[in-house]
Structure 1
Amino acid sequence: MNDRENNFNPNNSQNRGLLGSGWRPLYREFDWEHLIHLASTDPKELAQKTLDVASDIADAMGRQQYSWLANILNVFSENTRYEIDEFWDYITPQPVAPDYRYKDVLVTEIPVVQLVSRSSIPIDYVLNKLQEITVLKVLALLGKPDAITQFFMDRHFSYPPERFISWERLEILGTVYAYWAREGCWLQIDTYDKGRRCYTLICKNIAPLVNKATYNLAVILSGYKSRVGQIHSQFAIRTFST
């Protein structure tokens, strides 16, 4: 499938699924600072792409064998729109994305499935389950994000944070990004087959959130059975002497 076929089409069944579940196309906005940055760092590339798109528009409108009205309509044809969209994507800044320079990262696959074999012992399941619970509890502490976007089929979509209910109910076909400005945290969700998802938390400082999320959590191991859960006690764990 080429790039033109990947171009956003509201009639595509998958795109209709996203739009029907509350997602909206995310249109990139013009930014003078970004354009000035392009002009100062790579003026030749900017000039070449500007000439290319101007030439495409001139070719679309300058066809001698067609009427002026047909030429104007040709500017809005699929091929010409693709060239214009490609130029627009070049001169406008990319949508915000996680800062992968942050060193505090927590990753889990959801749901965690217990497999007992020679290569997979119960402790592996417990650790994976503990990590899953930790990520979900941290997300519960963070609450509604300030921004939710999704990248799917070379197009960006946005989801209104005020409509957000839960991550499980969010329709995900590509890669989802969420951002909490106050905490300096990013969430990246990638989809796998059979309904599995990978949750990646990327934060400036995730330790306080993890400490709060895992408070009173306990792990029980017994043979091939294991449990991870919350302890309910009238005495806080920290009050016991070591």
Structure 2
Amino acid sequence: MRKVMQYGFMDLLRSKWMIGYGAIFFCITSVMIYLIGDFTQVIISMMYLVLYLIPLLSIVLGIMYGYQIREYIAWVLSHPISRGQVFMGYYLSLALVLIIYFAAGMGLPFLFAGIFSTGSASAFGILLGSGVVLAVIFSGMAMWVVFANDNKLLGLGKGLLIWLVMTILYDAFFLIAVITFEDYPLETFALIASILNPIDLSRILLISNLDISALLGYTGAIIQSVLGTSGGMVWVLAGYIIWLIFPLWRYLRITSKKDF
């Protein structure tokens, strides 16, 4: 697995798409720090980009890379090597490169601006950590989609649909449900709803640290009131663990039976 991961890692590290991915975050972060100046406001602005752009780019770049290496993987599997190690190696290399370019692209401008000498360092750490976790989760989803669909266009379409549902349609469905059942207790519903969406789990962490629930829509306000406590954070971490494991489990399960 180490050699497979090393090959995939070096291949992705040189990819122009991945370099562009990191450059996007570097440029946007640098411009925002220069124009806004206040670290808290910059973090709030970057939060929207992280919550929407990281899932989109992770799933699109992951799907593109997955379809690119399918034929090569079929050749590798013709050799006496563990199937699980091959697929795990490529997944880890994808996730690691996404993390490196995101962390460098967004982290370096903050570092050069002296974020750790301010009171916003903890919020920055949560923002960076949330982006890392989302990159891992959605890279797993991307590889799952790739090997569950032989048609590239169909796979890309499903990937974009996953992103659309989790980032845009989810809040709309949540709001409709809350309005419809406003006379009923919403604590259990909010708990389940938060775990069903890793993006909202990241919102909760940032809301709790910055106290900006009013800026994040009705979903953020309702869920923060239920999960914005120390006990609620346990559920947030549990939700993260579920989302880190589930796409990877589905991906490995599908590839273990995939006939190339």
Higher strand share: 1
Report which of the two structures shows the higher radius of gyration computed on alpha carbons.
1
Higher helix share: 2
The alignment's TM-score, normalised by the length of structure 2, stands at 0.24
Greater RCO (CA < 8 Å, at least 6 residues apart): 2
The alignment's TM-score, normalised by the length of structure 1, stands at 0.25
